């Protein structure tokens, strides 16, 4: 199948990946209400078509945190992404560079910071959770600074991990020891292309940034146990000051859904925030990003950079998010699907489709520059 949309890449990923990995990418928490709302609420926003305007020159370029980007789109941090294709984060960072957009490496990536830095030619961003072991956090921040990461994305909506039913049903979580390994091995055998590309030649199968503290316990069940016991539930706004003392670059707080929290993030000295519900993977029943974003933009726009993610499946969705008040938009599942479908080349293909869709949406709403896109480009949700 020749992929013509993010939905096509999703289907290709479903065919290629073992079930436990596809369900991890594709699923959300509990009943997946918020996961579904992210997509449906965004898709329900009508674009306002305008005609007889000169749209012969469309400029997608933008500037975020002092960096120039080809379009206001970035690749969001995704845990375990490197298991979707051989050394997957290294492939993704190269695709992002070619497209002229930022790539964000997750704390719980398969490829460690130094490996991704060796694969990259330009600086990439780094994502961090609040972890109980401050020494470990300090070391990670030092490593990220050493390899030249200019921006830290600090995720704050995971003081405790949400329960994802699909992961238990597939055997990714809650299946320790030999039983879990046999379930996952059996699923891998059903997908020989992945088993050859990643299972055999994509080793080591470890979370590169976390492996030093896991020691010999590097299995998937050890990863989930580590998350449950090491994420810091006591995290508070005062911790932003500690992060700032350790990090000299831009700080972006990811996981904001409430205008009051957006104001607090601004007052805490953050350079940016990400309006996000963790892709519907944490608090099920929470607001979709599309519904949360306008009030947040009204509260802090112009005083802090606003990024957004959640449910973005096309360039039209990117334009919708920009019209709702975002300065930039993160793609999450979209690039994970593409990586699984065909590695670096497929991510590049997906990004070219998003760019083309953005150009059409901008032309037909009468906007020729990113800065021109405002709420008059859409009909808001009621």
DSSP codes, 113-166: HHHHHHH-SS--EEEEE-BS-HHHHHHHHHHHHHTT--EEEEE-S-SSPPP-HH
Residue with tokens 């594709």: 26
Q: Which among 243, 266, 294 has a CA at the least distance from the CA of 129?
A: 243
Beta bridge partners of 47: 378
In contact, 250 and 65? CB cutoff 8 Å: yes
- CA 129, 131, 136, 142 dihedral sign is positive
Cα gap 69→151, rounded to integer Å? 14
Cα gap 128→153, rounded to integer Å? 6
Cα gap 263→304, rounded to integer Å? 9
Cα gap 161→165, rounded to integer Å? 12
Cα gap 37→43, rounded to integer Å? 10
Beta bridge partners of 59: 369
From the list 166, 254, 278, 333, the catalytic residue is: 278
Verify whether residue 205 is a known catalytic residue.
no
Q: Which among 328, 336, 325 has a CA at the least distance from the CA of 358?
A: 328
- Cα→Cα distances 345→21, 49, 82, 350, 366, Å: 20, 33, 15, 9, 32
In contact, 348 and 99? CB cutoff 8 Å: yes
Interior/surface letters 100-125, b for 16+ CB within 10 angstroms, e for the rest: bbbbbbbbbbbbbbebbbebbeebbb
- CA torsion 256→361→72→41, rounded to 10°? 10
Annotated catalytic sites, by residue? 278
């Amino acid at each position: 199948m020749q992929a013509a949309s993010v939905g096509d890449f999703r289907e290709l990923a479903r065919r290629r990946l073992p079930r436990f990995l596809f369900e991890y990418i594709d699923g959300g928490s509990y009943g997946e209400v918020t996961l579904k709302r992210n997509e449906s609420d965004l898709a329900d926003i009508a674009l306002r078509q305008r005609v007889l305007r000169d749209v012969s020159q469309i400029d997608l370029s933008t500037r975020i945190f002092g960096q120039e980007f080809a379009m206001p789109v970035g690749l969001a941090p995704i845990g375990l992404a490197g298991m979707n294709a051989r050394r997957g984060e290294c492939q993704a960072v190269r695709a992002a560079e070619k497209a002229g957009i930022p790539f964000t490496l997750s704390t719980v990536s398969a490829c460690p910071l130094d490996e991704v830095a060796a694969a990259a030619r330009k600086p990439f961003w780094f994502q961090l959770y609040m972890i109980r072991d401050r020494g470990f956090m300090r070391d990670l921040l030092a490593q990220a600074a050493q390899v030249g990461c200019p921006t830290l994305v600090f995720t704050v909506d995971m003081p405790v991990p949400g329960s994802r039913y699909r992961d238990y049903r597939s055997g990714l979580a809650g299946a320790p020891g030999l039983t879990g390994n046999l379930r996952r091995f059996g699923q891998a055998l059903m997908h020989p292309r992945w088993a050859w590309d990643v299972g055999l030649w994509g080793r080591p199968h470890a979370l590169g940034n976390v492996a030093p503290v896991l020691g010999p316990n590097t299995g998937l069940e050890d990863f989930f146990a580590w998350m449950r016991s090491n994420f810091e539930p006591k995290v508070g706004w005062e911790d932003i000051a500690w992060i700032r003392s350790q990090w000299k670059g831009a700080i972006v707080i990811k996981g904001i859904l409430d205008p009051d929290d957006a104001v607090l993030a601004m007052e805490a000295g953050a350079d940016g925030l990400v309006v996000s519900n963790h892709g519907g993977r944490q608090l099920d029943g929470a607001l979709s990003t599309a519904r949360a974003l306008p009030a947040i933009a009204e509260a802090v726009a112009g005083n802090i950079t606003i990024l957004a993610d959640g449910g973005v499946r096309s360039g039209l969705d990117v334009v919708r998010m920009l019209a709702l008040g975002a300065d930039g938009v993160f793609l999450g599942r979209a690039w994970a699907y593409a990586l699984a479908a065909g590695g670096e080349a497929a991510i590049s293909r997906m990004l070219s489709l998003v760019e083309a869709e953005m150009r059409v949406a901008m032309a037909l709403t009468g906007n020729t520059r990113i800065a021109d896109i405002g709420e008059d480009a859409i009909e808001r949700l009621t």
